Chain A
Amino acid sequence: MAEKSLTSVSILIVEDEVLIALDLSHTFRAAGAEIVGPAGTADDALTLLSERQIDAAVVDVNLGEGDSLPIVHALARTGIPFLYYTGHEAPASLGWPRAKVIKKPALPSALVAAVSELLPSSDTDD
């Protein structure tokens, strides 16, 4: 069911923890999605955002020495749906765009379901 729902959907993964990023890639690829990234920094992610067509994004909050604020702003501005996948509590500070928060660790199926909910229902019927 999850595999069907994300077919041909391009998902940007922003995650600095390489192994987690690898695992997320596998998870979404297995669900039929096309992976953009993973990006370990906000800069890398912004570059990918400008170069590639992206349907949805999964974004970690803390990225090593920085955070993902620039990229989530860019996503919010361009109307690309995204969710936070983080070990932190929800980014509570002002200035963080509101979005669904999935707490680490999460089941692959839950992640796939959460991302598919971000997408317009017409796009998921395939």
Chain B
Amino acid sequence: MVVNTFPSPTNLDFTFELLTASDPRLCLLLDGDGIIVSANAAACRALPKAISGMRLAELGSDAGELEAYLRRCAATRSPVPGLIHLIADDGSVKPFSAHGGLIERSPGGARLIVIRLQQADLGKSVFTDISHKFEALGNELAWRKRSERIAGHLAAIVSSSTDAIYSKDLQNIVRSWNRGAERLFGYTAQEIIGQSILCLIPLEKREEERQLIQRLKAGELVEPIESLRQAKDGRLIETSITSSLIRNSAGEPMGISGIVRDITARKKTERALQSAHDSFRQVVENSPFGVFTVDADFRIAQVSAGAQNAFANVRPLIGRDFAEALRIVWPEPAASEFIGHFRRTLTTGEPYHDPTTVGRRYDTQEVEAYDWKIERMILPDGRPGVVCHYYDLTERLLYEAELRRSEQRFRGTFENASVGIAHIGVDGEWREFNDRLCQILGFARDDLSARSFASLHTPDGNDAHEAEVAKLTQGDGDSYQYETQLARQDGSGIWVSINIGVQQNEEGDPDYLIYVLRDISERKAAQEHQKMLMRELSHRSKNQLAVIQAIANQTLRSSESLDGFGERFTQRLNSLAVSLNLLVDGKWNGVDLAELIEKQLAGFMSSDEGGIWCEGPPVTVSDVAAEAIGLALHELSTNCAKYGAWSVPSGSVIVTWNIDSGMNDELRLVLSWVEQNGPPVQEPRHSGFGRFVIEKMVEQKLRAEVELRYPTTGVTWTLSAALRSVAG
């Protein structure tokens, strides 16, 4: 990732996604206009239409209801409970209990609403359905048992009993067979009397039958058993069989009588009830939200997975007295208050709902907050109990606080970054950008919003970058970096380095690009300057060589011997070097005139300080002027030392300079060299290279006026040049 200086992409959306990803509730993040900004996985599943950019109200069956609810949410930070109706994927309208609350992107910043939805009737409807089923099945079961009993009584009286009645001898041969038996088993009396009864008994039940006969023979009184019997057509019938021993007059066992009742219908009812129990248990126990039941004896009957945490310190839990359990978890008087509500609902059937119970727990000393509701229902044991379902608001309060903190951290980084940061959608639209970006690009925020980032690029030379960025938006690659010149609002260009990272959405597709822009105009300017210097240096050094060549040639012309040439040439070269050194020290930004004079004259001065007097205001002269004036001073000094003031101990030179107002108010530098107390002066007979330098060279190079005089008292030299043609 190239964008390594950018903080991890903890923006609000991201944090929201992180915190709600595994939340079973439907979590939506909305902006101030009720537009969905983000939705968690549960919300995406339940409301496939709840996509970003959609107005929540459009998902509802009653837009007015939703808008009113959102207004309530936007008005307060505390969670607002409410009931809203949304259209599910299958087109049905489902009620949702909602908890919405306001959060802000930053203190006083953009307002967002976090809403958690739970299908309002989810818990309740499942319980109610099952509870109704218990009731119906319980009633049916009671009715059937009663019917069976009544039928049994009647059998003794009425021979046309619906029950099958038969007798068999000890060898299992059927001896009697009533009409009921004919109907139940399909065998006529004629068919079966004299045959073995074993044809009625499935193989796996024969051992059971054998043991039963043993017990009867032993004189035991045997309770009715429930077993399977086979009809003539092969059908298995669930039956209740009452068997008794038949004795002869001597009291010896001679056979067995059986009354067989068809209990298929009752068994079916029982199984339905059992499966209802099972599904109830499953619904409760696997419920991701908090559900628990308290039975008619006020004992904890069932606890959902989602409610385990709340009772973590109550062990054993199932079967525990609920009042006792609550007193472990909550301090007084809260515990007693809760117990009171449960008892009242259990007794009266009146439901109770508290949307915000906040308190410090007794066992953990943590502050927790719940939205809870209790209702009376028939429990699997067939008796009334209390079902409590609740949402743990604590977790939500915590994550909302975390959300705010994280968002503030992000905001802080985003807004105070020294780099420009922008989030740009794969469609090229701005998501957001920080103030620093506006500064770098010289745009007012609104003006920048109105343009696309791409439009800030210059038309030339950015095609390659555009193609690379397009790849990123298509999921090819995760970062890109380039340097380019962007157009500022005032039309000027600014050099920036651009680092682009990709923020992916839940599916791993590019969601938006994170641009980090650095102003590199200074660096670019420095690079340009450097290039210019290199070019300049190359040119200058070649020119300098040509100048040295010229000096060498000229020195040679006026030299009488090779030794004389060597000395003069070296001295002149030295003078050039002195000026050059000063220029290099000053990074080619000019040379201080006083320093130039001091350095150029230094070689000619003895330790005696009396030979020179320098005075003038601070003036910085250009490279060209430094070289020309430096060479001229060198030639003047050479002559002075050879023939002038410095050729005698008493002589001295006064060098003064000033900035004068000349014609047309043009500032001029006037530099003068006056020798005094030297030997009497005579004008030289011929003018050599030295004089050319002092007069012509300076005149031409600096467009100066130069006056060289030879009064007997001492040489005077005055240079007057426009300040702008000599200043550095």
Enumerate chain A interface residues (CB-CB to B < 8 A): 16-20, 22-23, 26-27, 40, 62, 64, 87-88, 103-106, 108
Q: B550 contacts which of A16, A20, A62, A87 (Cβ < 8 Å)?
A: A20
Q: Give min CB distance, A112 to chain B, whole Å.
A: 13
Q: Give min CB distance, B569 to chain A, whole Å.
A: 13
Known: A20-B546, A23-B553, A104-B545. 6 other contacts (CB 8 A): A17-B543, A17-B550, A18-B696, A22-B692, A105-B542, A105-B546
Q: Give min CB distance, B621 to chain A, whole Å.
A: 15
8 Å CB contacts to A: which residues of B575-608? none
- Closest B residue to A89 by CB, please name it: B538
* Given A18-B700, A87-B539, A87-B540: A105 in contact with B545 (beta carbons within 8 A): yes
A residues in contact with B18, CB < 8 Å: none
Q: Are A22 and B542 in contact, with the CB atoms below 8 A?
A: no
Q: Are A20 and B701 in contact, with the CB atoms below 8 A?
A: no
B548-562 to A contact mask, C-beta < 8 Å, 1/0: 111101100100000
Give complex CA distance A22, B696 in Å.
10
**Would you call the interface of chain B mostly helix, strand, loop, or mixed?**
helix
A residues in contact with B542, CB < 8 Å: 87-88, 103-105
Q: Are A105 and B549 in contact, with the CB atoms below 8 A?
A: yes
* Given A26-B554, A26-B557, A87-B538: A20 in contact with B543 (beta carbons within 8 A): yes
Give complex CA distance A27, B697 in Å.
18
B residues in contact with A108, CB < 8 Å: 553
Give complex CA distance A87, B543 in Å.
5
Give complex CA distance A5, B435 in Å.
74
Q: Are A17 and B546 in contact, with the CB atoms below 8 A?
A: yes
- Closest A residue to B541 by CB, please name it: A87
| The 10 nearest A-B residue pairs measured at CB | A87-B542, A23-B550, A104-B546, A19-B550, A105-B546, A87-B543, A105-B545, A18-B697, A87-B539, A105-B549
| 13 CB-based A-B contacts, threshold 8 Å | A17-B543, A18-B696, A18-B700, A18-B701, A19-B697, A20-B550, A22-B550, A22-B696, A87-B542, A87-B543, A103-B542, A105-B545, A108-B553
8 Å CB contacts to A: which residues of B245-278? none
Give complex CA distance A18, B702 in Å.
10
Give complex CA distance A17, B547 in Å.
8
- Closest A residue to B548 by CB, please name it: A105
Enumerate chain B interface residues (CB-CB to A < 8 A): 538-543, 545-551, 553-554, 557, 624, 692-693, 696-697, 700-701
- Closest A residue to B692 by CB, please name it: A22
B residues in contact with A18, CB < 8 Å: 696-697, 700-701
Q: Are A22 and B546 in contact, with the CB atoms below 8 A?
A: no
- Closest B residue to A104 by CB, please name it: B546
* Given A18-B696, A18-B700, A23-B550: A104 in contact with B557 (beta carbons within 8 A): no
B residues in contact with A106, CB < 8 Å: 546
Q: Give min CB distance, B721 to chain A, whole Å.
A: 14
Q: Give min CB distance, A42 to chain B, whole Å.
A: 15
Give complex CA distance A62, B540 in Å.
11
A residues in contact with B539, CB < 8 Å: 62, 87-88
Give complex CA distance A22, B39 in Å.
85
- Closest B residue to A65 by CB, please name it: B725
A residues in contact with B553, CB < 8 Å: 23, 26-27, 108
Give complex CA distance A62, B624 in Å.
14
Q: Are B554 and A19 in contact, with the CB atoms below 8 A?
A: yes
Q: Give min CB distance, A115 to chain B, whole Å.
A: 16
Q: B554 contacts which of A17, A23, A104 (Cβ < 8 Å)?
A: A23
Give complex CA distance A105, B550 in Å.
9
B residues in contact with A62, CB < 8 Å: 539
Give complex CA distance A89, B551 in Å.
23
Q: Are A19 and B545 in contact, with the CB atoms below 8 A?
A: no
Q: Give min CB distance, B723 to chain A, whole Å.
A: 15
Q: Give min CB distance, A56 to chain B, whole Å.
A: 19
Give complex CA distance A22, B552 in Å.
12
Q: Give min CB distance, B544 to chain A, whole Å.
A: 8
Give complex CA distance A23, B555 in Å.
11
Give complex CA distance A88, B549 in Å.
17
Give complex CA distance A22, B538 in Å.
22
A residues in contact with B545, CB < 8 Å: 104-105
B residues in contact with A87, CB < 8 Å: 538-543, 546
Q: Are B554 and A22 in contact, with the CB atoms below 8 A?
A: yes
- Closest B residue to A107 by CB, please name it: B549
B residues in contact with A23, CB < 8 Å: 546, 549-550, 553-554
Which of B549, B693, B696 gathers the greatest number of chain A CB atoms within 10 Å?
B549
Give complex CA distance A106, B543 in Å.
11
A residues in contact with B554, CB < 8 Å: 19, 22-23, 26
B residues in contact with A104, CB < 8 Å: 542-543, 545-546
B residues in contact with A27, CB < 8 Å: 553
Give complex CA distance A64, B557 in Å.
28
Give complex CA distance A19, B635 in Å.
14
Which of B545, B547, B550 gathers the greatest number of chain A CB atoms within 10 Å?
B550
A residues in contact with B557, CB < 8 Å: 26
Give complex CA distance A28, B548 in Å.
18
A residues in contact with B696, CB < 8 Å: 18, 22
Give complex CA distance A19, B551 in Å.
7
Give complex CA distance A98, B696 in Å.
32
A residues in contact with B538, CB < 8 Å: 87
Q: Give min CB distance, B349 to chain A, whole Å.
A: 100
Give complex CA distance A88, B548 in Å.
17
